[in-house]
A = this chain, B = another copy of it.
């Protein structure tokens, strides 16, 4: 049926061990024999069974990537970049899409990656229990986005600095009533929303602006959520003249809500987002740009490096912080003298 290593060995007149060594570039086989085996293998269309080889060697040449929502631009982009790095290095990627709490729970209790992967890249921040489960796999671990966890390589950005640049921009334009659409809900135990909120509060305090809880709303990191949140903010007794959304998707939802309310951006309300979504430019959204694909690629590279030099795994894995920058577009301007409405 399907051609095995012994078929190749027989056809080449050598033993299976020699075929194995020859095909994987291991020493102990002469150049001529190696070439001949390669030829025979190619002609027979032989590919080693991954199951068998990983069973025998313990190496799987597979990386597990766990992500909350592949469909979202941010995660899709990170995954795209990471996958490219992995596949270029000869690794396959096993994808786990953990959107709902149930699938997430099931993943961490059953741990289907056990004995199936050489490393795991998590695009979501595992809580204590979950990260312990991952550590129990005994393979290199990495995360992008958000908080550090012991045993994890983490690549991320300076959330506070990014938020500060955004909010400060609004302050500098003269805004005093600055709302925030956060993304704190949901089952994601990560520090990002917390950091960003703190930075938001800091900038306000620094500018001598009193914080108004009515100017904060939860947008759940989605367009719809952002729309809801913006609608909520507009219902406040004194609505904001500017809003900082913790993600571009929520900012876009906010834009939609504003349009529905016949409010003009940036004349009536300024909006700044976070991420520099691929479509942020299309809608002219001012935002904090972060290297999304860059983070995925970097995390993947760091993971591969750990795989190459297992000796270095004694020390605490590295943390790298990638640059951010405020991108000014058309959704921010000084407040109108008469305010919204």
Is the C-beta of A60 less than 8 angstroms from some C-beta in chain B? yes
Chain B residue with the shortest CB-CB distance to A80 = B71
A51 to chain B, nearest CB (A): 4
User: Which one of B51, B99, B110 lies within 8 Å of A55 (CB-CB)?
Assistant: B51
- Does A177 have its Cβ within 8 Å of any Cβ on chain B? no
Q: Is A169 engaged at the interface, CB distance under 8 Å to the other chain?
A: no
Would A223 and B282 count as touching, CB distance under 8 A? yes
Q: How far is the CB of A57 from chain B (nearest CB, A)?
A: 10
Does A51 contact B92, Cβ atoms closer than 8 Å? no
Interface assignment of A212: CB less than 8 Å from any CB of chain B:
no
- Which of chain B's residues have a CB closer than 8 A to the CB of A47? 110-112, 114-115
1/0 per residue, CB under 8 A from B, across A47-75: the answer is 10111101100001010010001111100
Against B, the Cβ 8 Å flags (1 = close, 0 = not) of A244-262 are 0000000011011001000
Query: For the complex, what is the distance from the CA of A2 to the CA of B111, rounded to whole Å?
Result: 14
Nearest CB of chain B from residue A170's CB, rounded to whole Å: 21
A92 touches B72 (CB 8 A): no
> Nearest Cβ in chain B — how far from A46, in angstroms?
9
Closest chain B residue, CB of each to CB of A55 = B51
Please tell me if A97 contacts chain B, counting CB pairs below 8 Å: yes
Q: How far is the CA of A83 from the CA of B81 in the complex (A)?
A: 19
Q: Which residue of B lies closest to A112 (CB)?
A: B92
A230 to chain B: closest CB distance in Å? 12
Q: Is A84 an interface residue (CB 8 A)?
A: yes
* Contact digits for A128-155, partner B, Cβ 8 Å, 1 yes 0 no: 0000000010100000000000000000
Nearest CB in chain B: distance from A76 CB, A: 4
Closest CB-CB distance, A245 to chain B, in whole Å? Answer: 13
Choice from B73, B92, B279, B293 contacting A94 with Cβ under 8 Å: B92
How far does the alpha carbon of A180 sit from the alpha carbon of B45 in the complex, in Å?
Answer: 44
Interface string of A284-323 (1 = CB under 8 A from B): 1000000001000000000000000000000000000000
| Residues A80 and B97 in contact in the complex (CB < 8 Å), given A103-B87, A282-B255 | yes
Least Cβ–Cβ distance between A330 and chain B, in angstroms = 9
* 10 other A-B residue contacts (CB within 8 Å) besides A51-B54, A51-B60: A50-B112, A51-B55, A51-B116, A55-B55, A70-B83, A71-B73, A83-B95, A84-B97, A92-B116, A94-B95
Q: Mark A residues whose CB is within 8 Å of B.
A: 2, 45, 47, 49-52, 54-55, 60, 62, 65, 69-73, 76-77, 79-81, 83-84, 87-88, 92-97, 99, 103, 110-112, 114-116, 136, 138, 223, 252-253, 255-256, 259, 278-279, 281-284, 293
